[in-house]
Amino acid sequence: MTERKQRFPWALLLIGLILGGGGGVWYAWFLNPVNLVDVDPGQLNATDQRAYVLLVSEAYLQDQDLERARSRLQPLRARDVATLVSEQADLALLNGDAASEVRALATLAEALGGNPLAAEVFSGTSQPTSMPEPITATFAGIPTVTSTPEQPTETPTLLIPTATATPDFLVETQLELVALEQVCEDDYPSGRIEVYVDDALERGMPGLAVQVDWVGNQDTFFTGLKPEKSAGYGDFQMESNQIYTVTLVGLAEPVVGIDSAPCFTDSGVSQLPTYQLVYAPSPPEEP
């Protein structure tokens, strides 16, 4: 009588491997995960290294201790820390990161001997002693934008714009508002402040700070972050029923009375208006 050969239990082996692998992953990820302590900054990934450089820059902005900042950056083992911080400052500017972060990075980069483009906007500040006279704009068929908007029910907190250093290519150049238009159309984005800045040759001017103030709040955006529209274009999304002041920092007088009260399109739809502000160099004075 012939003996039957026993089959190898492949199914049991496969089940065992699955259970063993799953148990190992569960143990390593949840039960006893690896906790990294005192990791050298040079071992961090690129994203965490950028966060580390930002923290060092913000610390330098507070204590002004350049040697401490340099020693903190040394573990990154960068060939040139000034170039490293400068590139991160320019990247933060182009990405539209918070102004405080760009300022910290640009300040440290300059202190290290770098020359970031972001420093053209964020190198040094000065507080104006008085506000310039506001602009009053009137245009046919559109409500007048004046310096005396309807007073809000609560007392607003006046935020004085901080003047920022003027880029080299704008020295001795004064810009002025040459057009202001309110747009309330069905097929156009609503609720935006759109700023266009051109030079004397009608070329868009990037990297310029535009400050927006409204009751108890302040924000800053920059031209050039949407080059598909224009190198000198930047925009800001408004809230409903607010009165805004727009300032091309250090280059033009504030424009006050930008009212975000809803308007009606031709089809009767209620939406927030969009305001388009166009700046250009002031014409030369006649002798």
pLDDT tens digits along 172-224: 458 999 999 999 999 999 999 999 999 988 899 988 899 999 999 999 999 98
How far apart CA 228 and CA 242 sit, in angstroms, is 29
Which of the four CATH numbers 1.10.3720, 2.30.180, 2.60.40, 2.40.70 does domain 128-281 have? 2.60.40
pLDDT at 118 over 50: yes
How far apart CA 209 and CA 223 sit, in angstroms, is 7
Phi and psi at residue 133, to the nearest 5° = -65, 135
pLDDT tens digit sequence for 1-29: 555 656 667 777 778 788 777 777 777 77
Residue boundaries of the structural domains of the chain: 41-123, 128-281
pLDDT tens digit sequence for 88-104: 888 888 887 888 888 88
The residues, any chain, with a CB within 8 Å of residue 65's CB and separated by 6 or more, are: none
Write the CA distances from 144 to 109, 112, 136, 157, 258, integer angstroms: 45, 49, 8, 24, 10
pTM of the model: 0.45
Give the chain's radius of gyration (CA, Å). Answer: 28
